[in-house]
Structure 1
Amino acid sequence: MENRRQGGHWQNELALDLRGRGEQVFYPQLPDTDRPSLEAWVEAVLAELELMRGEKVVVCHSLACTTWLHVSAAVPAAADRLLLVSPPGPGVFDWDVIAGFDPAALDLGRLKLAAATPRLACSDNDPYCPEGAEAVFGGPLGCDVDLLPGAGHITYDDGYGNWPSALAWCLDPAERLAHNR
């Protein structure tokens, strides 16, 4: 699991599209991506949240999703709206480099992730969540779920550069996340 976003990744494209529409966008470059620290990542996220004004729409991918779970344990409903994309499953936290991000000690059913019902976009063949994100996170967190069959980890390599439905959801929470194919 790599915690870097190459150019063309859907999150980069989403930030550019939203900025192009005049939206205020914070896209924190989380520290030490090769040896991430939960404490440092939570601190970076909280610092960005302090800068946000108006509706706080948070979009997380992969390890940032479990970071958000820890943020929510400390600061409930810190966002107005939340999109979790491809959170890693329980099996990956065996890796010592990300073990500190494991949400196993959190009571997922009691977390208040956002003011509105959070949305989860996930695949049925994510190599970083073979247990199935819909079952592991969707139900316990009370998320609305958009399951994208065969979409892998929903990365640039999986065909998710520009992702129009992610932009549509950011602009209108009634939109559903859809395949990029």
Structure 2
Amino acid sequence: MWNRSYLILHGVENRRPEGHWQHELAMGLREHGEQVFYPQLPDTDRPKLVDWTDAFRSELALMRGEKIVVCHSLASVAWLHLAAADAASANPVSADRVLLVSPPGPQAFEWDVIAGFTSVGLDLAGLRLAEHSVRLVCSDDDPYCTEGAAEHYGRPLDCEVDVIPGGGHLALGDGYGRWPAALAWCLDPSERLTPNA
């Protein structure tokens, strides 16, 4: 019987490459004996919001015990849409803890491939993203969130925020392969998300 399980959700054009911090996180959690769901989301090059949120629901239905969700990039904004869609539902999808990493900002949605995921119009202050805790981790120089995710998302969501100086999009090309701090947070929510050395 699992007492907790993890759902790791990737961003656009991500095929879960070896070396990416999410791939390394999945492997690290499994080495700790944890139950991990790390799906390849549909149409990763030209995603559709409804297909991704449907996939989130399907994966969540398989999880047992405490449900911990880790989103990177576009998946973070898709999670916001899922919460907004479920706000009036009698049976909303729920997670116990959620980590949002590097959500793209409003200007990023000018790219037609992800335009349907735009966060513009979402009442961020009214969203319930998790039962117990939500943490946002972002950098101060993300080219996909020039508005600053700490201000644009963290403030209205009123969640815990960790800002990584000079971390870019917190992706593999930014030096975020194995990321010990992400694993530490997954195992203990009191841990802070800190930069890779």
TM-score (structure 1 length as normaliser)? 0.97
1:67: which partner in 2? 78
Using the TM superposition, give the Cα deviation of residue 117 of structure 1 relative to its aligned residue in structure 2, in angstroms. Answer: 2.7
1:34: which partner in 2? 45
1:3: which partner in 2? 13
What's the C-alpha RMSD, in Å, of the aligned pairs? 1.2
Q: Does 1:152 align with 2:162?
A: no
Q: Which digits, 9 at most, give the CA deviation of each residue in 1:49-68, with x for residues without a partner? A: 00000000000000000010
Q: Partner of 2:81: helix, strand, or coil? A: helix
Identity of aligned residues (%): 63
Name whichever structure is richer in strand by fraction. 2
Contact 1:120 1:138 in 2 (8 A): yes
Contact 2:139 2:169 in 1 (8 A): yes
What pairs with 1:133-172 in structure 2 (closer than 5 Å)? 133-172=149-188
Contact 2:105 2:119 in 1 (8 A): no
Contact 1:77 1:115 in 2 (8 A): no
Using the TM superposition, give the Cα deviation of residue 100 of structure 1 relative to its aligned residue in structure 2, in angstroms. Answer: 0.6
1:180: which partner in 2? 196
Count how many residue pairs are aligned between Structure 1 and Structure 2.
181
d(CA) in 2 for partners of 1:18 and 1:98?
30
Q: Does 1:119 align with 2:129?
A: no
Q: Partner of 1:97: helix, strand, or coil? A: helix
Which blocks of at least 5 consecutive residues in structure 1 are unaligned?
none
Contact 1:89 1:128 in 2 (8 A): yes
Q: Does 1:95 align with 2:134?
A: no
Q: Partner of 1:104: helix, strand, or coil? A: coil
Q: Partner of 2:133: helix, strand, or coil? A: coil
Using the TM superposition, give the Cα deviation of residue 23 of structure 1 relative to its aligned residue in structure 2, in angstroms. Answer: 0.5
Q: Does 1:78 align with 2:78?
A: no
* Counterpart selection for 1:44 from 55, 68, 81: 55
* Counterpart selection for 2:148 from 128, 132, 147: 132
The amino acid of 1:44's aligned partner reads: A
The amino acid of 2:96's aligned partner reads: D
d(CA) in 2 for partners of 1:58 and 1:139?
20
TM-score (structure 2 length as normaliser)? 0.89
1:53: which partner in 2? 64
Q: Does 1:15 align with 2:26?
A: yes
Contact 2:21 2:171 in 1 (8 A): yes
